Structure 1
Amino acid sequence: MSTLPAWLFCHRVTIEPYEGTGAYGEVWGEPVADVPALVDHSVKRVRNALGDEVTSTAQVYAAPGLHCPAGSRITLPDGRTTTAVQVAPHTAPGLNLPECTEVNCE
Structure 2
Amino acid sequence: LSEICEQLSISTNEFVDRHANGTYSVACIGAMPGFPYLSGLDPAIAVPRRAVPRMRLERGAVIVGGAQAGIMPCAAPSGWHIIGHTELELFDSNRSPAVLLRPGDIIRFKVLEVLR
Fold in common (TM above 0.5): no
Higher strand share: 1
> TM-score, normalized by length of structure 2?
0.27
Q: Which has the higher helix share?
A: 2
| TM-score, L = length of structure 1 | 0.29
